[in-house]
Amino acid sequence: MLEFSRRALLGTALAAPFARGAAAQEGPYILGSVFPQSGPNAEYGGVFTAGVQLALQHIEADKLLKRPIRYISEDSQALPQQGVIAMTKLVNIDKAHWTFAAFTAVSKAVAPIGDRAKTVMINGGAVGPDLSGLSPYFWNVIPLAHLETRALLPYLVGQGKKRFALVYVDDPLGDAILKELGEQLPKVGAELVGSFSIPRDAQQFGPVAARVRQVRPDAVYIASFGAQQSQIIKGLRNNGVSQQLCSYSAMNLASVGSLPEAEGMTFTVQKVDYAGGDALTRRFAEDFRRAHGKEPTVYNANYYNGCRLFGLLAHELEKTNTAVTGDSLKDTLHRLKKFPLVGGTGEFDAAGNMMAAIEVVQWKGGQLVKLA
Amino acid sequence: MIAYFSNLATLVAIFGILAVTLNFMVGFAGIFSVAHAVFFGLGAYAGAQIALTVTPNPFLACAVAAGIAGVLSLCLALPALRVRGEYFVAASLGLQMVALTLFSEVKSLTGGIGGLTNIPRPQVFDVEVGVLPLALLALGVLLWAIHAMANGSFGRTLKAIRDAESAAEALGKPVAVAKALAVAFACAGAGVAGALFALHMSFVNVESFTLDQSVLVMAMVIVGGTGTLFGPLVGAVLLLSLPSALSFLTFIPPTEVGSVQQIIYGLAMTLLMVFRPAGLLGDQNKGKSHA
Amino acid sequence: MLFVQLLLGGVQNGALYALTAAGFALIFGATKVFHVAHGSAFTLAGYVFLYGWTHNWNSLLSCLAAVLVAVAFGVGMERLVYRPIQRHEGSFFTVFVAAFGVSIVVQNLVGVFAGRGFASIDTPLSNASEVLPELFLADVFWVAILVALVMFVALTLFLSRTNAGVALRALAQNPDLLRAYGLSSSRLSMLAFALGSALVAPAAILSAMTTGLNEAVGNHVMLLSMASTIVGGVGSLRGAALAGLLLGVAESVVLVFLETQWASAASFLVLFGFILFKPSGMFGAAVAK
């Protein structure tokens, strides 16, 4: 309800540059991430980091690169300002070769910094459609929301859902989804009958539920992320909203699946076949299970891919003794276009977006069930 | 390393401006505002918009920011003229909360939570200048102005109002005008800090202008010592270098660093108030400060 | 029907705000301490109840533990923070900053030990059903109102019928007079803190069931309690409670006219308006400048 994160101290950006120093040309490659490691979205930070770290282990085990890699994790708290501070530090002080971003609002805020410094930024978690083409150095290894809604909406309309209500978080992701639904629903013969904006730290959803019920939707689309998703689901369900709930890939969190109120929540994720896939995918899934004792999620795979992509591109550059810079990495990406990654061959378009297949899934008894 | 320190120094100078201007309100006029971040924000948005749409000239950005923050400081001056003490703190809290919602929702001007990005670097006559010298210049000018006012008749009027408002009024001091001017001056200073902050970060969004930020600035003033000229600066340096000092404690798991920082920050505030209520540079023997 | 639904939803939240506001007003009225860490007592009580619930304690035991922790926190604040500061005759603002520091510490400790983010209790109590066409009410609605009423009746009886209660009210009016009669104002302040903090526990428990908790939940509680105390008129418990109810209703009913994102600003606009135009509040005596 109130913007009240208690992170007024300018946080990690001012933290310890001392042990590090600038990277010499022949020192290690510097990879940095701007993930939420604290605050209500910290669960994502852990998931994203696990993917990056597994890829780092594999790159090292395979001796893919001549130079070592140093990985620096900065905390964005999923907030743009903290993200900007962290990114400034990674780019200007640590001289990172390659960075990882997440969250639409954070990605949009840090993109100009990476762009100015010609540092590659990889997004494997945020899905705001305007993240495409943000900068020549900003690449998405995740299908963006417009691809997700275009898979989800026809499915739900096929199930007889014609009237959609949208509960969306008041930030760039929410705004993007609002725009997307407004444009896409009429095309599939449905309509957006109401949209309800909520602040990022809102907690009371009783009144919102009352407004949602009043527009008599067939389905309610929730565009939020992190801890708030669970609160919205519970708030709506507890206050008489019994309609179909639907969303995008952010619902793919263990804490959402375990919520009894989330039963029947339908959303879209990327298609990754861990068991029947290629050797790379199986190795990723097996090592992930061994390390974490649970099934990998798509987010783990995305950031694994994002990190592996650096290994593949830098390997190419090392072969020709070319310096690893933002520009040489970019040129190599556009030259090769296709890369062996988890989930199959990843192909990038001219804007730096990786294409991927999407499937519709549902939470049922705490398990993810594939619908279409 | 140099980049790191110049970044830290710029932030210290900007927050120093915030702290000394707030201290002017608190220490000299007895107006305990916890809405200083609102005016910081107004200045930041104004400065950012000037730089984005008109010209990246930092002096114009600062002037417009100071003007807007100064005029809108009336929102703070009005309750300051009506009530004192706890009531005024509550009013400023209310203002802070309402302003925060406005900052988030008036997206055409503020960009909401997404903020304003890609703010150009400051330029004077087509030459790019750093924010650090500008911020130091502004800080110096403000400190000089506060010093001059504190020892002039305006400062004496304010102190008289702070210590005994009814008596000052009975003596024919222009209480309302003096209070409103003090508030306008302090808020305009916060506006300048905001414009510099926007130019320094090349990015602003609503997160920088929360109640936490207001309390942080307030803590700088209180920790350093209210009513002293340099106390707030000491507070700003201390509270801004706390995170980097803590990062030497490498045994803290990275996911807990933020929390540990906050816990130490909170504890420091409380313990200081219990054991050194007049602040680090304040006169501990002065006894009751008047509120 | 939307209006009725929002009104009743507002009443449910308002009943809880009324309890926390009465606690804040009781403490502020009797001791003149602006207890900004009041929200922390709420957070702690809520999380203790949550802990008991997830560890399958008897629910009565969990409630009792929640109340005890809230009371211990309030009394601890009085003893360890407020009294030493007041001994120096520190200004009310010193108290404000010290208490704010404590609330930051509590919020982050809860985050470290209980986990960050959303936590709630799964109970059929909070599940609404359609009582009239288009009107959904959960059992917790009645529980909230009943609890609030019982607590107020008990508090009023205590303040008017017992010696300690009368002395507490006298402390609010004139501490010097009380001292002249040989009553210990120090013991009475502790009592005020204990009672005021105990009042947040039921609200915290019910919130754990309905909206859920997070480590920062106390901030909103503190701000609303403070706002209610001023809107209601300092020194009036009844005023604070009514104002709490009013702010809860305002937050909800405002959605009849406005978009959802403006809800949180509503109560603070009410507060700001009162301070500008009627600083004495609804029931308070005139405020000296």
Q: What is the pLDDT of residue A9?
A: 41
pLDDT of B286 above 70: no
Q: What is the pLDDT of residue A43?
A: 78
- Per-residue pLDDT band for A370 (boundaries 50, 70, 90) equals confident
Nearest Cα of chain A lies from the Cα of B178 at a distance, in angstroms, of: 32
- Using a CB–CB cutoff of 8 Å, tell me whether C43 touches chain A: no
Extended strands (E) in B147-201: none
Of A152, A168, A130, A158, the closest CA to residue A351 belongs to: A130
Question: Which one-letter DSSP state was computed for residue A354?
Answer: B
With beta carbons under 8 A apart, name residues in chain A contacting B101.
199
**Residues C255, A210: C-beta atoms closer than 8 Å:** yes
Which of A228-237, B141-150, B202-211, C258-267 has the lowest average pLDDT?
Answer: C258-267
Collapsing DSSP to helix, strand or coil, C33 comes out as: coil
**Residues A240, C130: C-beta atoms closer than 8 Å:** yes
**Residues C118, A42: C-beta atoms closer than 8 Å:** no
Nearest Cα of chain B lies from the Cα of A21 at a distance, in angstroms, of: 7
- Using a CB–CB cutoff of 8 Å, tell me whether C129 touches chain A: yes
pLDDT of B257 above 90: no
pLDDT of A23 above 50: no
Of A17, A84, A89, which has the smallest distance from its Cβ to B1's Cβ?
A: A17
What CATH topology corresponds to A146-271+359-370? Rossmann fold (3.40.50)
> Over the stretch A245-304, which tens digit does the pLDDT of each residue have?
999 988 888 888 888 888 999 999 888 877 777 889 999 999 999 998 888 888 899 999
Per the CB < 8 A criterion, the answer to whether B43 and B190 are in contact is yes
**Residues C118, A40: C-beta atoms closer than 8 Å:** yes
With beta carbons under 8 A apart, name residues in chain A contacting C122.
260
Q: What is the pLDDT of residue B255?
A: 62
Question: In chain A, which residue's Cα lies nearest the Cα of C111?
Answer: A39
Intervals of chain C under pLDDT 50: 286-289
Phi-psi group of A244: left, alpha or beta (phi > 0 → left; psi -120 to 50 → alpha; rest → beta)? beta
Collapsing DSSP to helix, strand or coil, C136 comes out as: strand
Q: What is the pLDDT of residue A260?
A: 86
Q: Which residues of B106-124 are buried (b: 16+ CB within 10 A; e: fewer)?
A: eeeebbbbbbbbbbeebee
Collapsing DSSP to helix, strand or coil, A339 comes out as: strand
> Over the stretch A46-55, which tens digit does the pLDDT of each residue have?
889 999 999 9
With beta carbons under 8 A apart, name residues in chain A contacting C111.
38
**Residues C211, A204: C-beta atoms closer than 8 Å:** yes
> Over the stretch B118-149, which tens digit does the pLDDT of each residue have?
888 888 887 888 889 999 999 999 999 988 88
> Over the stretch A142-188, which tens digit does the pLDDT of each residue have?
888 888 888 899 999 998 999 999 999 888 888 889 999 999 999 99
**B164-to-A342, B89, B146, B158, C102 alpha-carbon distances in Å:** 73, 19, 21, 10, 32
With beta carbons under 8 A apart, name residues in chain A contacting B213.
8
Of A6, A11, A37, which has the smallest distance from its Cβ to B254's Cβ?
A: A37
| Radius of gyration, alpha carbons of chain B | 19
Return the residue in A7, A203, A229, A243 with the most chain C beta carbons within 10 A, the one to mutate for interface testing: A203
Per the CB < 8 A criterion, the answer to whether B22 and B33 are in contact is yes
- Per-residue pLDDT band for A315 (boundaries 50, 70, 90) equals very high
* Positive or negative: CA dihedral C28, C31, C32, C34: negative
pLDDT of B196 above 90: yes
Of B86, B259, B288, which has the smallest distance from its Cβ to C112's Cβ?
A: B259
With beta carbons under 8 A apart, name residues in chain B contacting A88.
7
Give CA–CA dist A306/A56, Å, rounded: 11
Task: Give the A window 187-226 contacts with B, CB below 8 Å.
Answer: 199-200
Of B158, B11, B105, C41, the closest CA to residue A84 belongs to: B11
Question: In chain A, which residue's Cα lies nearest the Cα of C120?
Answer: A231
Question: In chain C, which residue's Cα lies nearest the Cα of B32?
Answer: C93
Residue with tokens 């918009």: B49
Nearest Cα of chain B lies from the Cα of A300 at a distance, in angstroms, of: 18
**Residues B274, C85: C-beta atoms closer than 8 Å:** yes
Using N-to-C axis directions, what is the helix angle for C92-114 and B85-105, rounded to 10°? Answer: 50
- Per-residue pLDDT band for A22 (boundaries 50, 70, 90) equals very low
Question: Which one-letter DSSP state was computed for residue C78?
Answer: I
Q: For CATH 3.40.50.2300, list the domain ranges present in chain A.
A: 11-142+277-356, 146-271+359-370
Cβ-Cβ contacts under 8 Å between A and C: the total is 114
Nearest Cα of chain C lies from the Cα of B223 at a distance, in angstroms, of: 10
**What is the DSSP code string of A122-188?**
EESS---GGGTTS-TTEEESS--HHHHHHHHHHHHHHTT--EEEEEEESSHHHHHHHHHHHHHHHHT
Per the CB < 8 A criterion, the answer to whether A215 and A194 are in contact is yes
- Using a CB–CB cutoff of 8 Å, tell me whether A6 touches chain B: yes
Q: What is the pLDDT of residue C275?
A: 81
User: Which amino acid is present at A115?
Assistant: D
- Using a CB–CB cutoff of 8 Å, tell me whether C252 touches chain A: yes
For residue B189, give the H/E element and its range: helix B175-201
With beta carbons under 8 A apart, name residues in chain B contacting C275.
79, 82-83, 87-88, 90-91, 94
pLDDT higher for C194 or A226?
C194
Paired sense of beta strands A69-75 and A29-35, if any: parallel
Ramachandran angles phi, psi of A108, nearest 5°: -65, -35
Per the CB < 8 A criterion, the answer to whether B274 and B222 are in contact is no
Paired sense of beta strands A191-198 and A219-223, if any: unpaired
Q: Which residues of A219-249 are buried (b: 16+ CB within 10 A; e: fewer)?
A: bbbbbbbbbbbbbbbbbbbbbbbebbbbbbb
Give CA–CA dist A367/B33, Å, rounded: 51
- Using a CB–CB cutoff of 8 Å, tell me whether A231 touches chain C: yes
**C260-to-A167, A294, B198, C150, C265 alpha-carbon distances in Å:** 10, 39, 29, 33, 11
Per the CB < 8 A criterion, the answer to whether A246 and A156 are in contact is yes
Tell me what ipTM this predicted complex has: 0.83
Give CA–CA dist B3/B11, Å, rounded: 12
Question: Which one-letter DSSP state was computed for residue B164?
Answer: -
> Over the stretch C61-117, which tens digit does the pLDDT of each residue have?
999 999 999 999 999 999 998 888 887 766 777 888 889 899 989 988 988 888 776
How far is C-alpha A67 from the chain's CA centre?
A: 28
**What is the DSSP code string of B111-131?**
-GGG-B--PPPPEETTEE--H
With beta carbons under 8 A apart, name residues in chain A contacting C222.
none
Give CA–CA dist A45/A28, Å, rounded: 24
**Residues A203, C214: C-beta atoms closer than 8 Å:** yes
Mean pLDDT for B178-182 is: 87
User: Cβ neighbours of residue A342 under 8 Å, at least 6 residues apart?
Assistant: A272, A277, A280, A281, A284, A301, A304, A305, A308
Q: What is the pLDDT of residue A294?
A: 85
Both structure tokens of B30: 């007895």
As a whole number of angstroms, the longest Cα–Cα distance in chain C is: 62
User: Which amino acid is present at A18?
Assistant: F
Question: Which one-letter DSSP state was computed for residue A203?
Answer: -
- Using a CB–CB cutoff of 8 Å, tell me whether A325 touches chain B: no
pLDDT higher for A362 or B7?
A362
Collapsing DSSP to helix, strand or coil, A344 comes out as: strand
Give CA–CA dist A177/A13, Å, rounded: 31
**Residues A203, C120: C-beta atoms closer than 8 Å:** no
With beta carbons under 8 A apart, name residues in chain C contacting A198.
260-261
Give CA–CA dist B10/A275, Å, rounded: 53
Of B269, B270, B291, which has the smallest distance from its Cβ to C91's Cβ?
A: B291
Give CA–CA dist A141/A329, Å, rounded: 15
Chains touching C (3+ CB pairs < 8 Å) = A, B
Per the CB < 8 A criterion, the answer to whether C11 and C245 are in contact is yes
Give CA–CA dist A64/A58, Å, rounded: 9
How far is C-alpha C254 from the chain's CA centre?
A: 22
Q: Mark out the alpha helices in A206-351 (DSSP H runs).
A: 206-214, 227-238, 254-257, 279-292, 298-319, 326-336
Extended strands (E) in B18-86: none
Q: Does domain A11-142+277-356 match CATH 2.60.40.3950?
A: no
Task: Give the A window 36-65 contacts with B, CB below 8 Å.
Answer: 37-39, 42, 45-46
Question: In chain B, which residue's Cα lies nearest the Cα of A45?
Answer: B255
Question: In chain C, which residue's Cα lies nearest the Cα of B94?
Answer: C268
Q: What is the pLDDT of residue A5?
A: 39
* Positive or negative: CA dihedral A261, A263, A265, A269: positive
> Over the stretch A57-103, which tens digit does the pLDDT of each residue have?
999 999 999 999 999 888 888 888 788 888 988 998 889 999 999 98
**Residues A227, C118: C-beta atoms closer than 8 Å:** yes
Task: Give the B window 100-139 contacts with C, CB below 8 Å.
Answer: 101-102, 104-105
Nearest Cα of chain B lies from the Cα of C134 at a distance, in angstroms, of: 30
> Over the stretch B14-73, which tens digit does the pLDDT of each residue have?
999 999 999 988 887 788 888 999 999 999 999 999 999 988 889 999 999 999 999 998
With beta carbons under 8 A apart, name residues in chain C contacting B222.
93-94, 97
